[in-house]
Amino acid sequence: MAQKRLPKQYAKVLFELTKDAKGKELDTMISTYIKFLREEQVLAKLPYIIDAFVSYAKQQSGLTTISIESARQLSEDEAKAIAAYFGKNTEYTQKTNKKLLGGVKVRKGNTIIDASISSRLEAFTSQLS
C-alpha cells in the first residue's frame, strides 16, 4: 500500500528539485514532478501542494509571514509597525473582526498572540467566576 504524504511533504520535494534549476531544466523537473504526482494519484491535492510550496519557499528564503486581525482596518504604518516586531523580512495580511472590540490578534504559523480587548474581557470574566 502506498504511503500517504501531506501536501507539505510534496512541496518540500518540489522545492528541492527546482531551487537551482533554470530554463529547460526547470521545465523538465516540473514535468517529471507532475508525472510523479499523477502516479501517486494526488493531482487533486495540487492547489494545496502549491500553497505549501509557496509557504515553504518563503520560509527557506527567510521571509516571515503573519496575519493581523483587528477590530478596525489598521493604517499601513500601524500594520508595518506590528510586522516589524517579527523582523525586517516580514510580510503580512490584514483582516477585520469587529468581535475583537479593539486591539489585535496576530498569527504566525501555529502561534497566536491575542492582544484583543475581547480576550482581555473574557479573561477578566473568568477570574471573577
Which pLDDT tens digit goes with each residue over 84-113? 999 989 999 999 999 999 999 999 988 999
* Number of domains the chain contains: 2
Residue bearing the bigger pLDDT, 126 or 76: 76
Specify whether 47 is located in the same domain as 78.
Answer: no
pLDDT, residue 82, reads 95
pTM: 0.67
- The HSE-up count of residue 115 (CA atoms within 13 Å, CB side) is 7
Specify whether 74 is located in the same domain as 88.
Answer: yes
C-alpha cell of residue 87: 523582523
Is the model's pLDDT at 2 over the cut of 90?
Answer: no
Specify whether 39 is located in the same domain as 79.
Answer: no
Q: Which domain holds residue 33?
A: 7-60
Count of CB atoms within 10 A of residue 83's CB? Answer: 20
Specify whether 76 is located in the same domain as 40.
Answer: no
Q: Are strands 111-116 and 90-96 parallel, antiparallel or unpaired?
A: unpaired
Mean predicted confidence (pLDDT) in 74-80: 95
Is the model's pLDDT at 1 over the cut of 50?
Answer: no
Q: Kindly state the percentage of the chain with pLDDT values over 70.
A: 98
On whether residue 2 sits in a domain, the answer given is: no
Specify whether 83 is located in the same domain as 43.
Answer: no
pLDDT mean across residues, the chain: 92
Specify whether 122 is located in the same domain as 74.
Answer: yes
Specify whether 116 is located in the same domain as 103.
Answer: yes
On whether residue 1 sits in a domain, the answer given is: no
Specify whether 40 is located in the same domain as 68.
Answer: no
Q: Kindly state the percentage of the chain with pLDDT values over 90.
A: 79
Specify whether 92 is located in the same domain as 54.
Answer: no
Is the model's pLDDT at 15 over the cut of 60?
Answer: yes
Quote the CA–CA distance of 115 and 129 in Å, as a whole number.
22
